[in-house]
């Protein structure tokens, strides 16, 4: 147990994703980043909750709780789906874009509605423009969304998709 | 003028007339339900989560929330609940963001009763249930998958595992499963003390709640942070069955069940959802006393035709190991150097390698840095991790992520979790017969197929012996808790192994008496792969162990000691495993004495569910030395 706690404390300090929940997200009115881990600093409490099979008491994903932030009865509202996915998978997307492949990137392509014949171009574009999309190690979700939009808009094949982000 | 009055009169009487009509129809429906004995049908009892009491006859609902029942006696009276539910369906309350009409609130009940009683829409108006329909549309359900995260490194307790259900949408495939939603059942608490959580959880001190979560959040928890391999069992539920399941989940949304770790846990409650989905499935019956998540997965897998396909999702750490296995030491050394900031991504030693090799090294370094920061060893800053990705993105080569082979034995195919052993042996010349009952779960000598290698967790292990020439059985050992983690270290992973053992055992005193004494022991250790071997197939290890013995026979009632354990655990073949170890404990406090032991243990698997076990021992306690040997047949059930 002690080991785990140490790990968690260290994790709170170390893990970059942790910063995400700390309230830096103020995109729009839904406040998705903060909502994901309502009132919790970092993902550490989530880790603990998972290992002990507890939930952290917040009911953001409660099933019949009505409207709450960016969810409706526990399911993410359609206009927030892409933004929230990027927010929740930022590190994974960075990894995937650096190789132009992977599950998070495939899922993002699906969310944006990239058709099969454009997928390869989309993957390649994210890889080629990695340094634009992830301009630094602490880009916000807004910045990722904005630069991804630009990258798509400046690509003749992918331009139509820039509107669906 | 009179026309107006008549109209007003009609308007005034109309509601009463409607009530009268409602009442008449409700009475008809109740009458029909009684005739058909609907309240005792399995479908209805499942919807109410009725289960037999463990100790006495009769049934009650496991739900501990008055909101789940329309009748005051609904928790114990299924018929009263059915009739009160029918009455509720006549409500004309409009749906709002926070409140629902009873038809929508209990939508699975509504649809089942509608089918059984053929509701007349003229006399019982059907509500639109917009919120449910929106929710269902957003999930776009197509398939249900049972998800089982396996144990994680150096934490045998996590072998107990966890299960969740995943709702797979129509447009998803194996590459886009992150977009699915998962349904989980967990104790709702902000408790941060693991111990408090454990104790309260044993006695139902927390409310258990169902929740729906994007699957990517779960994947991040299990695969990326906790490094647990995840098994996904895609089920054959039809669209109709999936709808039934979702409707029932909707009903359960706000409902509280008292959460019990051992029996009414996540795994148990998810099985009950499947029983609602497919009437006739009997999954929960066998878990009256305890429900180990992996056993519930087995119960699902054993149902003929319920599992369509099984997908394995390796954790980050599994992928790292695979990368390492495919790589030369010189390359992996560079990756480690990158993570430990000994070299930078623009270092010549890296840059002059062919692009493909550079890519492999950078990808490994990034994965490893992720693993290290997730396990709290932050030698790499976010800026450096970003550098690694940037360097990787500039290489024009395809992804170097390896294919991780799917383990040959799945979690549901491993040995069963209870074990009975019958054996004979000899100790210091005296013959004995022995019975060993281990209710649960896995030890280091058991076949690892479907389990995590190097992880042992046993509860309530009991051993009895009958010595020739003596009367009766004598309890030899009773061990409520026994956990061992044996995690080999290497350049990339440096876990500290550990063990803890609490229970009662026989101690040999100077006068040849052998009373039962209490013992708590444990300590940290280090383990390493034998050179030239990998994946823990041959491991040598050492622990530093402390032991507290307590009992009336000791001077001052106790003895406290410490000492080393050293051993070698190796697989000679797939079926044959050997563990050789020596242990020396010096009890310095209390009743001072020495205890030493040299043991050779062997296990030979006859098949998945049975094995032969042979133990040879040379032991010393106080002044006496003796030899012992026993052979037993182990049967898993």
Contact B211 A50 (CB under 8 A): no
Residue B399 within a domain:
no
**Closest-CA residue in chain A for B96?**
A66
Question: What is the distance in angstroms between the Cα of B185 and the nearest Cα belonging to chain A?
Answer: 8
Q: pLDDT per residue over B381-400, tens digit each?
A: 888 999 999 999 999 999 99
Q: pLDDT per residue over A31-66, tens digit each?
A: 333 333 333 333 333 333 333 344 433 434 677 777
> How far is the C-alpha of B70 from the C-alpha of B91, rounded, in Å?
12
Q: pLDDT per residue over B45-96, tens digit each?
A: 999 999 888 778 889 998 989 999 999 999 999 999 999 999 999 999 998 8
Total count of domains within chain B: 4
Confidence of residue A5 (pLDDT cuts 50, 70, 90): very low
Fill in the DSSP letter of residue B530. Answer: P
Find residue B63's DSSP bridge partners.
Answer: B257
> How far is the C-alpha of B557 from the C-alpha of B591, rounded, in Å?
8
DSSP string, B254-277: T--EEE-SSSSSHHHHHHHHHHHH
Q: Which domain holds residue B342?
A: 327-393
Residues B241 and B374 in one domain: no
Q: pLDDT per residue over A66-106, tens digit each?
A: 776 677 888 887 778 888 889 889 999 999 999 999 999 99
Residue B269 clears pLDDT 90, i.e. is over it:
no
Q: What is the pLDDT of residue B19?
A: 63
Residues B364 and B504 in one domain: no
Contacting B residues, span 460-499, partner chain A, CB-CB under 8 Å:
496
How long is chain B? 637
Residue B599 clears pLDDT 50, i.e. is over it:
yes
Contact A14 B254 (CB under 8 A): no
DSSP string, B81-92: HHHHHHHHTT--
Residues B200 and B165 in one domain: yes
**Closest-CA residue in chain A for B316?**
A92
Q: pLDDT per residue over B281-292, tens digit each?
A: 988 887 766 778
Dihedrals phi, psi of B515, to nearest 5 degrees: -75, 160
User: Which chain B residues contact residue A101 at CB under 8 A?
Assistant: 398-399, 401
Cα angle for residues A123, A129, A132 (degrees, 5° grid): 135
3-state secondary structure of B567: strand
Dihedrals phi, psi of B373, to nearest 5 degrees: -70, -30
N-to-C CA span, chain B: 86
What does the pLDDT average to over B391-410?
94
* Nearest by CB: B212 against A74, A111, A130: A74
Residues B361 and B494 in one domain: no
Residues B41 and B80 in one domain: yes
Residue B423 within a domain:
yes
Best CA proximity match to B485, nearest among B7, B48, B131, B153: B153
Distances (CA, A) of B137 to A107, B77, B174, B284, B411: 19, 35, 21, 30, 33
> How far is the C-alpha of B280 from the C-alpha of B43, rounded, in Å?
8
Residue B406 within a domain:
no
Contact B399 A100 (CB under 8 A): yes
3-state secondary structure of B99: coil
Q: Rg of the Cα trace of chain A?
A: 17
Best CA proximity match to B153, nearest among A4, A15, A2: A4
> How far is the C-alpha of A61 from the C-alpha of A88, rounded, in Å?
14
User: Which chain B residues contact residue A43 at CB under 8 A?
Assistant: 220, 225
Fill in the DSSP letter of residue B452. Answer: -
Q: What is the pLDDT of residue B306?
A: 95
> How far is the C-alpha of B490 from the C-alpha of B493, rounded, in Å?
5
User: Which chain A residues contact residue B216 at CB under 8 A?
Assistant: 85, 88-89, 104, 107
Q: What is the pLDDT of residue B46?
A: 94
With beta carbons less than 8 A apart as the criterion, state whether A43 and A88 touch. Answer: no
**Closest-CA residue in chain B for A55?**
B188
What does the pLDDT average to over B494-508?
93
On whether any CB of chain B is under 8 Å from the CB of A72, the answer is yes
HEC string for B472-501: CCEEEEEEEEEEEECCEECCCCCCCEEEEE
Show the DSSP H helices in B375-529 as ranges.
Answer: 382-393
Question: What is the distance in angstroms between the Cα of B169 and the nearest Cα belonging to chain A?
Answer: 12
- Say what the alpha-carbon torsion angle B215, B218, B223, B224 is, to the nearest 10 degrees: 110
> How far is the C-alpha of B268 from the C-alpha of B295, rounded, in Å?
10
Question: What is the distance in angstroms between the Cα of B537 and the nearest Cα belonging to chain A?
Answer: 26
> How far is the C-alpha of A69 from the C-alpha of A81, rounded, in Å?
12
* Nearest by CB: A14 against B190, B252, B378: B378
> How far is the C-alpha of B220 from the C-alpha of A109, rounded, in Å?
19
Residue B561 clears pLDDT 90, i.e. is over it:
yes
Residue B409 within a domain:
no
Question: What is the distance in angstroms between the Cα of A143 and the nearest Cα belonging to chain B?
Answer: 16
With beta carbons less than 8 A apart as the criterion, state whether A11 and A18 touch. Answer: yes
On whether any CB of chain A is under 8 Å from the CB of B370, the answer is yes
Question: Where among B106, B135, B164 does a domain terminate?
Answer: B135
On whether any CB of chain A is under 8 Å from the CB of B260, the answer is no
Residues B335 and B380 in one domain: yes
Task: Tell me which long-range contacts A35-40 makes (C-beta under 8 A, separation of at least 24).
Answer: A35/A60, A35/A68, A35/A69, A35/A70, A35/A71, A36/A60, A36/A84, A36/A87, A36/A88, A36/B217
Residues B427 and B528 in one domain: yes
Q: What is the pLDDT of residue A22?
A: 29
Contact A73 B134 (CB under 8 A): yes
Residues B149 and B255 in one domain: yes
Question: What is the distance in angstroms between the Cα of A120 and the nearest Cα belonging to chain B?
Answer: 12
> How far is the C-alpha of B175 from the C-alpha of B472, rounded, in Å?
62
Pairing of strands B488-489, B516-529: parallel
User: Which chain B residues contact residue A89 at CB under 8 A?
Assistant: 178, 216, 220
Q: What is the pLDDT of residue B86?
A: 96
Beta-strand runs (E) in B129-198: 141-152, 164-169, 181-188
With beta carbons less than 8 A apart as the criterion, state whether B22 and B90 touch. Answer: yes
Residue B197 clears pLDDT 70, i.e. is over it:
no
What average pLDDT does the structure give for chain B? 90
Residues B470 and B591 in one domain: yes
Show the DSSP H helices in A52-129 as ranges.
Answer: 81-88, 90-99, 103-112, 116-128
With beta carbons less than 8 A apart as the criterion, state whether B166 and B178 touch. Answer: no
With beta carbons less than 8 A apart as the criterion, state whether B500 and B458 touch. Answer: no
Residues B215 and B234 in one domain: yes
User: Which residue is it, tokens 């007349």?
Assistant: B120
User: Which residue is it, tokens 């897998």?
Assistant: B301
Q: What is the pLDDT of residue A35?
A: 32
On whether any CB of chain A is under 8 Å from the CB of B162, the answer is yes
> How far is the C-alpha of B202 from the C-alpha of A129, rounded, in Å?
52
Contact A64 B399 (CB under 8 A): no
Residue B617 within a domain:
yes
> How far is the C-alpha of B444 from the C-alpha of B448, rounded, in Å?
8
CB-neighbour burial class of residue B166 (10 A; exposed 0-12, middle 13-18, buried 19+): buried
On whether any CB of chain B is under 8 Å from the CB of A127, the answer is yes
Question: What is the distance in angstroms between the Cα of A160 and the nearest Cα belonging to chain B?
Answer: 21
On whether any CB of chain B is under 8 Å from the CB of A140, the answer is no
Residue A23 clears pLDDT 50, i.e. is over it:
no
Contact A92 B220 (CB under 8 A): yes
Best CA proximity match to B397, nearest among B356, B369, B430, B428: B356
Residues B496 and B570 in one domain: yes
Best CA proximity match to B397, nearest among B368, B357, B365: B357
Contact A64 B100 (CB under 8 A): yes
On whether any CB of chain A is under 8 Å from the CB of B363, the answer is yes
> How far is the C-alpha of A87 from the C-alpha of A96, rounded, in Å?
15
Residue B7 clears pLDDT 80, i.e. is over it:
no
pTM of the model: 0.86
Question: What is the distance in angstroms between the Cα of A142 and the nearest Cα belonging to chain B?
Answer: 18
Structure tokens at B610: 């049975």
What are the structural domain ranges in chain A?
A: 1-77, 89-165
On whether any CB of chain B is under 8 Å from the CB of A95, the answer is yes
Residue B404 within a domain:
no
Contact B393 A4 (CB under 8 A): no
Pairing of strands B228-235, B307-313: antiparallel
Q: What is the pLDDT of residue B259?
A: 72
**Closest-CA residue in chain B for A78?**
B138
Give percent above pLDDT 70 in chain B: 93
User: Which chain B residues contact residue A55 at CB under 8 A?
Assistant: 184, 186-189, 209, 211
Contacting B residues, span 90-129, partner chain A, CB-CB under 8 Å:
97-98, 100, 105
> Taking the mean position of all CA atoms in its chain, how far away is CA A120?
22
How long is chain A? 165
Contact B186 A53 (CB under 8 A): yes
Question: What is the distance in angstroms between the Cα of A37 and the nearest Cα belonging to chain B?
Answer: 10
Best CA proximity match to A146, nearest among A77, A86, A79: A86
**ipTM for the complex shown:** 0.87
Q: pLDDT per residue over B200-248, tens digit each?
A: 666 666 778 888 889 998 888 888 777 889 999 999 999 999 999 999 9
Pairing of strands B455-467, A54-55: unpaired
Contact B226 A66 (CB under 8 A): no
> How far is the C-alpha of B430 from the C-alpha of B550, rounded, in Å?
27
**Closest-CA residue in chain B for A65?**
B98
What does the pLDDT average to over B599-626?
96
> How far is the C-alpha of B166 from the C-alpha of A79, rounded, in Å?
22
**Closest-CA residue in chain A for B187?**
A54
Contact A107 B192 (CB under 8 A): no
Question: Which residues, including other chains, have CB under 8 Å from residue B502's CB and lie 6 or more apart?
Answer: B479, B480, B481, B482, B519, B520, B521
Residues B116 and B57 in one domain: yes
Question: What is the distance in angstroms between the Cα of B414 and the nearest Cα belonging to chain A?
Answer: 23
């Amino acid at each position: 147990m002690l080991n785990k706690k140490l790990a968690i404390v260290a994790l709170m300090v170390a893990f970059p994703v942790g910063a995400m929940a700390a309230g830096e997200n103020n995109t729009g009115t839904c406040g998705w980043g903060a909502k994901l881990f309502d009132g919790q600093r970092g993902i550490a409490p989530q880790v603990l909750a998972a290992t002990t099979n507890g939930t952290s008491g917040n009911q953001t994903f409660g099933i019949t709780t009505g409207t709450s932030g960016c969810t409706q009865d526990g399911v993410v509202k359609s206009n927030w789906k892409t933004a929230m996915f990027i927010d929740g998978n930022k590190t994974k997307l960075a990894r995937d874009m650096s190789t132009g492949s992977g599950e998070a990137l495939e899922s993002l392509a699906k969310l944006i509605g990239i058709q099969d014949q454009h997928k390869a171009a989309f993957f390649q574009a994210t890889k080629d423009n990695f340094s634009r999309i992830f301009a630094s190690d602490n880009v916000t979700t807004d910045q990722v969304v904005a630069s991804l939009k630009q990258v798509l808009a400046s690509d003749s094949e992918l331009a139509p998709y820039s509107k669906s982000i | 003028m009179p026309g107006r009055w008549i109209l007003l009169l009609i308007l005034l009487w109309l509601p009463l007339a409607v009530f009268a009509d409602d009442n008449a129809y409700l009475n008809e429906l109740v009458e029909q339900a009684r005739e058909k004995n609907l309240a005792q049908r399995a479908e209805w009892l499942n919807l109410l989560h009725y289960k037999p009491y463990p100790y006495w006859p009769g049934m009650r609902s496991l739900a501990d929330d008055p909101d789940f029942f329309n009748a005051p006696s609904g928790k114990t009276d299924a018929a009263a609940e059915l009739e009160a539910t029918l009455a509720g369906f006549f409500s004309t309350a409009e749906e709002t963001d926070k409140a629902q009409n009873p038809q929508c609130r209990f939508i699975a009940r509504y649809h089942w009763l509608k089918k059984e009683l053929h509701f007349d829409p003229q006399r019982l108006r059907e509500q639109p249930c917009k919120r449910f329909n929106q929710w269902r549309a957003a999930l776009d359900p197509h398939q249900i998958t049972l998800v089982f995260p396996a144990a994680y490194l150096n934490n045998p307790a996590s072998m107990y595992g966890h299960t969740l259900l995943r709702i797979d949408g129509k447009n998803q495939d194996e590459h886009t499963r992150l977009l699915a939603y998962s349904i989980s059942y967990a104790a709702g608490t902000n408790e941060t003390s693991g111990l408090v959580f454990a104790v309260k959880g044993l006695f139902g001190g927390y409310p258990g709640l169902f929740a729906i979560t994007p699957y990517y959040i779960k994947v991040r928890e299990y695969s990326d942070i906790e490094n647990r391999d995840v098994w996904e069992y895609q089920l054959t539920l039809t669209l109709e069955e999936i709808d039934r399941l979702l409707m029932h989940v909707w009903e359960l949304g706000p409902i509280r069940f008292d959460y019990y770790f051992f029996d009414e846990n996540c795994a148990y409650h998810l099985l009950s959802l499947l029983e609602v989905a497919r009437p006739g499935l009997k999954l929960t019956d066998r878990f009256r006393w305890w429900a180990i998540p992996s056993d519930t997965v087995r119960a699902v897998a054993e149902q003929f035709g319920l599992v369509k396909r099984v997908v394995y999702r390796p954790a980050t750490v599994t992928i790292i190991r695979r990368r390492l296995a495919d790589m030369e030491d010189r390359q992996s050394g560079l990756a480690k150097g990158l993570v430990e900031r000994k070299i930078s991504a623009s270092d010549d030693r890296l840059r002059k390698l062919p692009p493909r090799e550079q890519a492999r090294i950078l990808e490994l370094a990034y994965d490893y840095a992720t693993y290290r920061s997730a396990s709290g060893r932050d030698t790499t800053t976010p800026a450096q991790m970003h550098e690694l990705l940037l360097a990787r993105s500039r290489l024009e080569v395809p992804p170097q992520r390896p294919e991780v082979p799917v383990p040959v034995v799945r979690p549901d195919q491993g040995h069963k979790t209870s074990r009975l052993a019958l054996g004979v042996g000899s100790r210091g010349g005296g013959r004995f017969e022995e019975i060993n009952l281990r209710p649960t779960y896995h030890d280091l000598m058991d076949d690892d197929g479907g389990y995590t290698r190097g992880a042992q967790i046993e509860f309530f292990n009991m051993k009895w012996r009958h010595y020739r020439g003596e009367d009766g059985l004598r309890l030899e050992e009773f061990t409520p808790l026994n956990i061992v983690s044996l995690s080999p270290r290497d350049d990339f992973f440096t876990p500290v192994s550990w063990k803890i053992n609490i229970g009662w055992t026989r101690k040999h005193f100077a006068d040849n008496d052998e009373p039962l004494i209490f013992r708590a022991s444990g300590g940290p250790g280090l383990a390493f792969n034998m050179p030239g071997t990998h994946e823990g197939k041959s491991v040598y290890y050492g622990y530093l162990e402390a032991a507290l013995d307590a009992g009336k026979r000791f001077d001052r009632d106790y003895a406290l000691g410490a000492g080393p354990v050293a051993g070698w655990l190796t697989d000679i073949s797939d079926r044959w495993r050997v563990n050789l170890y020596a242990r020396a404990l010096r009890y310095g406090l209390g009743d001072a004495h020495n205890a030493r032991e040299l043991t050779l243990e062997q296990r030979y698997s006859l098949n998945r569910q049975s094995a032969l076990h042979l133990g040879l021992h040379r032991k010393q306690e106080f002044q006496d030395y003796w030899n012992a040997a026993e052979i037993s047949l182990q049967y898993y059930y």
